[in-house]
Structure 1
Amino acid sequence: MSLALIALGGDASTLEHVARNVLPDAMAQTAMLLAGVAVLVSVVGVGTAWLVTAYRFPGRGALAMALILPLAMPAYIVAYVYVEILEPLGPVQGGLRALFGWRSRADYWFPEIRSLPGAVLVLGFVLYPYVYMTARALFSVQSANLIEVARTLGARPWELFRAVALPLARPALALGLSLALLETLNDIGASEYLGVRTLTVSIYTTWVNRNSLEGAAQIACVMLAVVAVILWLERRARGARGFTASVKRPRQATPLALSGGAGFAAALACALPVVVGFAIPAALLVREAVSRTLRKGVPAEFWHALGLTLAYAAAATCLVLVLGAVVAAAVRMVRGRKVAALARVASLGYAMPGTVLAVGLLTPLATVDNALANAIRAMTGVSPGLILTGSGAAVVVAYTVRFLGIAAGGIESGMSRISTHMDDAARTLGRRPGEILRLIHLPLARPALASAALLVFVDAMKELPATLLLRPLNADTLATAVYAQAARGVFEDGALAALAIVLAGLAPVLLMLRLSAPGGQRGPAEPAEAFALEDPSGLAPR
């Protein structure tokens, strides 16, 4: 409602300028970026998932886990790294000139990283794990009977994949692809740095550079329509399809052994995404962070940004956990379609790009700020200034809205493993719903609470668009500090902050690796890969 009111508040000239000069190019760039990322994450995610589940080859076990690692890398950091490596003055082109005796760019051709294809490659190799995890989970639990019957009927490996495995995994693939596209739509750092003028970048430049909040809101309304289309396509792709397995753990098909050249090719195909999406960026970050720290020490700005980042993330995590527990408890204790529908609405924030949230939250928060300031001034005679937007509370509110779906979905999943007989027994003993939640649900769902807290905390540390637009002046977090250094052309000075973000991002990835390892913590009769099907966005049906 706030976005609509702000957008309608603009004059006709603003709307005409946006419709004629901004939206056509931004829509075209966004559509091409989404299409390119969709193709790349589907090919890489599905292909690698099928290789590690259907075949045995050298290094298969390690690669199956390592393929998740790019999730720890924010896309904007990977974009900054590859520009440093592939720009004309970078090591790659410098080495080529030295090797072949070229003197300038006029002597040779080299692909431009600051381009739409460059953005597709960067975002694709960072976001493919969303598809990989859901595809691998479904491929792993598919019954061996289906696979073996197809083999006995003469199905070749490609026919087996295309006609049996892929159709069965379609619901999970639609979910993973939609999550990757929503993250692409939310991205601002990589797209802007690589010269792709998406809707997100247009919202930021219209608001900050052109000082037109109304124009930014008009673009944000269009972006909401794009989000709705992605969600509709995800629903349409899944349709009424679901995946049902036996109550008992299904017998998995025996992977086929690949040796010689075929085994080496499979290992190389699985290793390439890990190297491009994680290993190379991580190596450069470690090198730059260590070299600059040894030469100049740790700058005071880093500690200030780290403290502010931890404070924002911790405050948002506490608030999100409380609200997530309330939502999950309401779904469990108050049965009915209305409560389920409200819980789904509460989880939709994850689908909202950070720039859209920032524009939409600004007016309500400013209204509350002004009301508080007027009340305090009337009572004390002292003007307190901007309380919410000036203290960083606006950033915490944006984090809460955006990441509530992660906590609510995770806690609800954890509570679903608690027998309802415990609730009935507690009620017969006279316990009220609040006491049941405090004494039974929360203690038994503690692992789910811890996992949700970790995911929310790390995502809040990495969040750039909403932080960039709602933070107080001169209050940089680690993400905005890295963004500012890259914008000034000295990304190396922000390498330590970028490395801190990546190290924080490794925590939930390591948790997923531990859960997917043999003997990891999981429920009875559940394959470890089922944990990859948890839907933090609230997009999938419970």
Structure 2
Amino acid sequence: MADQKSQVSRPHGTPRLVLRRPSLWSIGALTIGAAVVAPLIAILWMALNPDENIWPHLISTVLPRYLTNTAIIAGGVAVLSAMVGTGAAWLIAMYRFPGSRVFEWLLLFPLAIPAYVGAYALVDFLEYSGPVQSALRGLMGWESARDYWFPEIRSRWAAVVVLAAALNPYVYLLARTAFREQSGGIYEVARALGAGPWARFWRVGLPLARPAIAAAVAIVMMETVADFGVVDFFAVQTLTTGIFTTWLEMGNAGGAAQIALVILGLVLLLVGLEKASRSKSRFYQTARHQRPVETIRLSGPAAWGATMLCAVPFAVGFVLPVSVIGWHALANAEGWRAPGLGTALRHTLTVGGAAAIVTVAGALFLVYAVKLTGARLPRKVMPLSTLGYAAPGAVLGVGLLIPLAAIDNAVADTIWSLTGWDPGLVLTGTAFAVVYAYSVRVFAIAQGAAESALDRVSPSLPMAARSLGRTAGGALRAVYVPLIRGSVGTALLLVFVDSVKELPATLMYSLIWKKLAN
């Protein structure tokens, strides 16, 4: 009986677990939200108070091209990532086939490869002197590029393929978790009613997993809009490349911030659409221990077809970049003895781990506090806290350095006036600023995962815990955490990997300081 009710919609009028008076939960939620939104406010201030207003010039010249390219690439990456990630997640969660247990983890490996590395690998593999065109010329007897036609590599389609190969694991991971957290009873009922594999996917599995898939696709689109390395490498002009061109080449930080506002507006639209798409249908787990989905063993062509479908995204997203980079690394062996490689690895793991813990803990606290208190102001701040994911790293760095530098200078001046000792830059000169930057940058990942996980827990469970004398924190530990443990682990992994891939953005800090100094 518990199995049959393990996936149910919340009845209309179900009461919320709400605190009726202000508490530390609402204060903490506002503090976290303010910390995440502060850099965006700084960017807004710069956009509204530019040294030179070049907005009319941008609108009449390059902005339409930036918008068109951004929309085409973001839409293409979203569709391709959703198809690949959801399809692979369904195969892994529901079927057994040759290599299924291995591909369950191999399909996550592209997350470890920065998208711009994949772009370099694809160009190296497909360019005129690369192995593909060289093999074609040798096989067909062609002498030069004039003898045959080959698609233009540095183009929008190549950017879509590279970004989808790098970002589809977001969809795969969240969709796989959602499929596996569903009750096996609903699929047994569907099979008993004569539903075939496609019907079970389209009419049962996909609708129940839609909130997680929608959140993942929104993350993919925000990541695509914010990308700079891939589109710059492929010479495609987007809003993000326009920010860097306006800021670094034209020296107009205000104009760059104005373009950044367009990006933030697009992301706000994406967040609103994602929220609206799942606001009218919610599904809860009412059974703490439910029967898992029983996987079906495939055989014959279907089994090997599933293996090939899982092998393709792994090959394009991981094998190809690693092979190309590995080949060049082996050809230049002295690079392995470069000084500081071990220190860089240690710093990467430390900063990435700290950013993951801080971000996931803050997002879980914020989402739970909003559900608990029902306060309007924290609820209004929540969508804004996801906008940092679309802000390019360098521009977000400016928004961070402005308030942190003001605090640093105020603290240093106070200490100097009292003791005569200059402590230096405590915040912006340490790992604190880097962890803060990454936390703001990837907060949307943690918040989306936390919100999706908490939404699947029936309100009756924590209400029962409160009626038995549990505090709000006790209900979180005793009820929510055991039910969302898998989603929290997924969020930690996603945030850590994304933070590690963002570490090259720290190189921009010295450039930012030079810009601010001038």
User: TM-score surpassing 0.5?
Assistant: yes
Deviation by residue 1:303-353 (Cα, 9 ceiling, x = unmatched): 564455456446645755775686588569x74435863783685366443
The correspondence for 1:364, drawn from 394, 403, 406, is: 403
Q: 1:433 to 1:472 in 2, by over 3 A?
A: farther
Q: 1:457 to 1:63 in 2, by over 3 A?
A: closer
The correspondence for 2:382, drawn from 338, 344, 347, is: 344
**Separation of aligned partners in 2, 1:424 and 1:139:** 32
Q: 1:163 to 1:324 in 2, by over 3 A?
A: closer
- Partners of 2:243 and 2:260 within 8 A in 1: yes
Aligned to 1:280: 320
| Secondary structure at the counterpart of residue 25 of structure 1 | helix
Q: 1:385 to 1:40 in 2, by over 3 A?
A: same
- Partners of 2:387 and 2:444 within 8 A in 1: yes
Aligned to 1:195: 235
- Partners of 2:112 and 2:501 within 8 A in 1: no
The correspondence for 1:43, drawn from 83, 96, 116, is: 83
The correspondence for 1:225, drawn from 265, 274, 290, is: 265
Q: 66-75 vs 452-461, which deviates more?
A: 452-461
Aligned to 2:290: 249
**Separation of aligned partners in 2, 1:69 and 1:17:** 43
Counterpart of 1:7, as a letter, is A
Q: CA deviation at 1:217?
A: 0.4
- Partners of 1:388 and 1:394 within 8 A in 2: yes
Aligned to 2:187: 144
- Partners of 1:186 and 1:200 within 8 A in 2: yes
**Separation of aligned partners in 1, 2:191 and 2:466:** 43
Deviation by residue 1:422-468 (Cα, 9 ceiling, x = unmatched): 999998xxxx999x89x999x999x8998876654443221158535
Deviation by residue 1:131-171 (Cα, 9 ceiling, x = unmatched): 223333444425124421442xxx55444533444334322
User: Could you tell me the percent identity over the aligned residues?
Assistant: 38
Counterpart of 1:278, as a letter, is F
Mapping 1:26-37, distance limit 5 Å = 26-37=66-77
Aligned to 1:14: 54
**Separation of aligned partners in 2, 1:426 and 1:69:** 45
Unaligned 5+ segments in structure 2 are 1-40
- Partners of 1:4 and 1:221 within 8 A in 2: yes
**Separation of aligned partners in 2, 1:254 and 1:411:** 27
**Separation of aligned partners in 2, 1:329 and 1:399:** 22
- Partners of 2:329 and 2:335 within 8 A in 1: no
Counterpart of 1:148, as a letter, is R
The correspondence for 1:395, drawn from 411, 429, 434, is: 434
Q: 462-471 vs 235-244, which deviates more?
A: 462-471
Mapping 1:526-541, distance limit 5 Å = none
Q: 178-187 vs 298-307, which deviates more?
A: 298-307
The correspondence for 2:253, drawn from 199, 205, 213, is: 213
**Separation of aligned partners in 2, 1:42 and 1:411:** 20
- Partners of 2:85 and 2:171 within 8 A in 1: yes
Counterpart of 2:379, as a letter, is A
**Separation of aligned partners in 2, 1:409 and 1:167:** 18
| Secondary structure at the counterpart of residue 54 of structure 2 | helix
Mapping 1:394-433, distance limit 5 Å = 394-404=433-443
**Separation of aligned partners in 2, 1:256 and 1:124:** 29
- Partners of 1:45 and 1:129 within 8 A in 2: yes
Q: 1:301 to 1:188 in 2, by over 3 A?
A: farther
Q: 1:246 to 1:362 in 2, by over 3 A?
A: closer
**Separation of aligned partners in 2, 1:7 and 1:96:** 51
Q: 1:81 to 1:71 in 2, by over 3 A?
A: same
Q: 125-134 vs 269-278, which deviates more?
A: 125-134
Counterpart of 1:85, as a letter, is F
| Secondary structure at the counterpart of residue 222 of structure 1 | helix
The correspondence for 2:166, drawn from 99, 117, 126, is: 126
Q: 387-396 vs 42-51, which deviates more?
A: 387-396
1:114 aligns with 2:157: no
Q: 1:385 to 1:209 in 2, by over 3 A?
A: farther
Aligned length: 463
- Partners of 1:331 and 1:340 within 8 A in 2: yes
**Separation of aligned partners in 2, 1:329 and 1:262:** 43
Q: CA deviation at 1:272?
A: 0.9
Aligned to 2:108: 68
1:460 aligns with 2:499: yes
Q: CA deviation at 1:116?
A: 0.6
Unaligned 5+ segments in structure 1 are 476-542
| Secondary structure at the counterpart of residue 394 of structure 1 | helix
1:186 aligns with 2:186: no
Counterpart of 1:467, as a letter, is T
1:90 aligns with 2:130: yes
- Partners of 1:316 and 1:396 within 8 A in 2: yes
Q: CA deviation at 1:219?
A: 0.4
Mapping 1:379-528, distance limit 5 Å = 388-389=427-428, 393-404=432-443, 456-463=495-502, 466-471=505-510
**Separation of aligned partners in 2, 1:8 and 1:473:** 20
Counterpart of 2:54, as a letter, is T
**Separation of aligned partners in 1, 2:80 and 2:53:** 39
**Separation of aligned partners in 1, 2:148 and 2:361:** 59
Aligned to 1:269: 309
Q: 1:297 to 1:54 in 2, by over 3 A?
A: closer
- Partners of 1:389 and 1:472 within 8 A in 2: no
Q: 1:69 to 1:322 in 2, by over 3 A?
A: closer
Q: CA deviation at 1:202?
A: 1.7
**RMSD (CA atoms):** 4.3
Aligned to 1:529: none
Deviation by residue 1:473-530 (Cα, 9 ceiling, x = unmatched): 899xxxxxxxxxxxxxxxxxxxxxxxxxxxxxxxxxxxxxxxxxxxxxxxxxxxxxxx
**Separation of aligned partners in 2, 1:422 and 1:53:** 32
- Partners of 2:127 and 2:153 within 8 A in 1: yes
**Separation of aligned partners in 1, 2:400 and 2:105:** 39
- Partners of 2:93 and 2:176 within 8 A in 1: yes
Q: 1:466 to 1:421 in 2, by over 3 A?
A: farther
**Separation of aligned partners in 2, 1:62 and 1:195:** 37
